[in-house]
Amino acid sequence: MEAQKMPNGALRPWNVADLPAPPKFNFRNAMAVIGPGTIALSMSIGSGEWLIGPSAAVRFGTSVMWIVIISVFFQVFLNQEFARYTLYTGEPVLTGFMRTKPGPKLWGWLYPLFGMLQVAWPGWAAAAAGCLFAALYGHLPDAAVAGDRSTMLVLGYILFFACLVIVLFGGRIERILEWLAWGMVTWIVVYLLIVDVFFVPAKAWTDVAGGFFKFGSIPRGPTGVDWPLMGAFAAYAGAGGIGNCWITNWLRDKGFGMGKVIGFIPSAVAGKEVKLAHVGTVFEPTEKNMSTWTQWWKYLWVDQGILFGGGCVIGMYLCVLLAYGVIPHGTDIAGLATGAYQADYLMKRVGRIMWFLTLLNGFWVLFGTQLNNMEGLTRVITDHIWTGSERARRVGDVRYVYYTVLAIFVIWGCIAINMAKPFVLIILGANMAGFIFVFSGVHILVTQHRFLPKEVRAPMWRQVIIALSCIFFAFFVLMNIVKLIGG
């Protein structure tokens, strides 16, 4: 039946069913149920941890590390409040935003535009190309050498299309991304632990750890505060902006909460046709359903609190520790070889073997992030079209919409990869992510008050945390605007 008595906003009324129960909460089941947090963590490691965090700490010192603690804390709660909507309705949170006034006519194109401005720049494929170039040719690429620039561009295209192939043959797309993310995160943590323990001085360990507690410190360079870098660091200490929103798409596909009754987006080649519902299903807040709701939140805390939140802090610490411990302080590591500098300096200190191992680590980090961004943005836009357009749903198979959007993304990526150096593309997207945090943080509070029953809605203390998160990220957005206006 339909939820006729429940406010449903600008989209069709929800269906109503009981909340499916998760398996009994224990370690074994938790490892089977969780997964979206790993994908989000792999995105975080690929931009904030491996690139932006080390760049900020090497240039300005470890006093910037406190930003990680605050940012990740807020992102954990933002993710959970986005997920609250998905657990209740089975819809991604961006679909919930479309239910608010004025509906899909505004939000149906505005959030995809936000996503494009953040992650449609294939800077991660270009940065991964730097690692691959160094491994193939034995030296870092030089922007002053025309041959290096052209080779880097070719490699960037190859890696960009490799991401496309993986998405096409992925079966259930969320599942293949989850497998890749687990492999990437496991390799990175083990490798960094070994390298940091054996080759990073003890003083670097204490310097980086101490930076987590220097709250409020904003270091200045010769030309003042680098606000674009600081804003990027704050946003990409975790998943970053639109990436935090599309975590709910993966939660839906994984079957969290009411996502179990909605369906998922399959791959074009290996996936079977799946009926993806264009309208969500909610549950009445009965005693039984609310008991089941509590069980789902235990899994959500493991996925987003422990796996994502804890992983982001540990990942940032290990990545910054390596760069800070082996690269001369004050070095600008944001050139054409972004992501490969760690290998160069580690080789000079340890030996040639560390050159290839560290390049492999950097490549895996950056390539995995590009893969997640390609799939995630395509998924967000597909859900918008599928939910808001009757014409799109007439095709009968969501894959036709998904892979049309993907084709457009790939065409744009082939153009955008030529526009700037990899690090510049990533910094631009990261600062857009900070703006999206502010916008979506306010929007989720409005959406919850409009559509979620009191029994399911976030308590007041959580709403206060979301409001504070908006203020935190708005500060960096404002300082970048002031710097831009002031030249």
**Rounded-to-integer distance, Cα 318 and Cα 356, Å:** 19
**Rounded-to-integer distance, Cα 105 and Cα 10, Å:** 10
**Rounded-to-integer distance, Cα 257 and Cα 273, Å:** 22
- The H-or-E segment that residue 16 falls in is strand 15-16
List pLDDT tens digits, range 211-230: 999 999 888 877 788 999 99
- Alpha helices by DSSP H, 255-336: 287-300, 311-326
Question: Where is mean pLDDT largest: 171-175, 340-344, 373-377, 457-461?
Answer: 457-461
Block residue for tokens 């904030």: 48
- Alpha helices by DSSP H, 145-276: 146-168, 173-199, 202-211, 227-235, 242-245, 247-254
pLDDT at 272: 47
CA angle in degrees (0–180, nearest 5) for 135-137-142: 100
Looking at residues 162-187, what average pLDDT do you find? 72
Identify whether the C-beta of residue 236 lies closer than 8 Å to the C-beta of residue 229: no
**pLDDT for residue 443 is more than 50:** yes
Categorize the per-residue pLDDT at 290 as very low, low, confident or very high, splitting at 50, 70 and 90: very high
Among the listed residues 234, 240, 197, the one whose alpha carbon sits nearest the alpha carbon of residue 65: 234
Q: Is the dihedral of CA 389, 395, 398, 404 positive or negative?
A: negative
**pLDDT for residue 171 is more than 60:** no
Among the listed residues 159, 29, 171, 172, the one whose alpha carbon sits nearest the alpha carbon of residue 422: 159
When computed from its CA atoms, the radius of gyration of the chain, rounded to whole angstroms, is: 22
Block residue for tokens 């969320």: 174
**Rounded-to-integer distance, Cα 331 and Cα 341, Å:** 10
Share of the chain above pLDDT 90, in %: 51
Backbone φ, ψ for residue 16 (5° rounding): -130, 135
pLDDT at 97: 95
Look up residue 307 and give its two tokens. Answer: 């796996």
**pLDDT for residue 260 is more than 60:** yes
The answer for residues whose C-beta is within 8 angstroms of residue 427's C-beta and 6 or more apart is 52, 228, 229, 232
Among the listed residues 238, 247, 306, 243, the one whose alpha carbon sits nearest the alpha carbon of residue 53: 238
Is pLDDT larger for residue 69 or for residue 243? 69
Q: Is the bond preceding residue 102 a cis peptide, omega within 30 degrees?
A: yes
SS3 of 281, please?
strand
SS3 of 221, please?
strand
If one counts every other C-beta atom within 10 angstroms of the C-beta of residue 45, the result is 30
**Rounded-to-integer distance, Cα 180 and Cα 178, Å:** 5
List pLDDT tens digits, range 120-159: 888 889 899 999 999 999 999 987 888 898 999 999 999 9
Categorize the per-residue pLDDT at 442 as very low, low, confident or very high, splitting at 50, 70 and 90: very high
At 301, the amino acid letter reads W
Block residue for tokens 């982001």: 312
pLDDT at 253: 82
The answer for residues whose C-beta is within 8 angstroms of residue 276's C-beta and 6 or more apart is 262, 263, 264, 265, 386, 398
Identify whether the C-beta of residue 432 lies closer than 8 Å to the C-beta of residue 110: no
CATH 1.20.1740.10 fits 15-485, yes or no: yes
- The H-or-E segment that residue 282 falls in is strand 281-282
List pLDDT tens digits, range 299-327: 999 999 999 999 999 999 999 999 999 99
- Chain-wide mean pLDDT for the chain? 87
If one counts every other C-beta atom within 10 angstroms of the C-beta of residue 4, the result is 9
Looking at residues 352-356, what average pLDDT do you find? 88
Block residue for tokens 């910037």: 64
pLDDT at 152: 92
Categorize the per-residue pLDDT at 298 as very low, low, confident or very high, splitting at 50, 70 and 90: very high
pLDDT at 276: 55
Task: Please state the domain extents for the chain.
Answer: 15-485
Identify whether the C-beta of residue 233 lies closer than 8 Å to the C-beta of residue 66: no
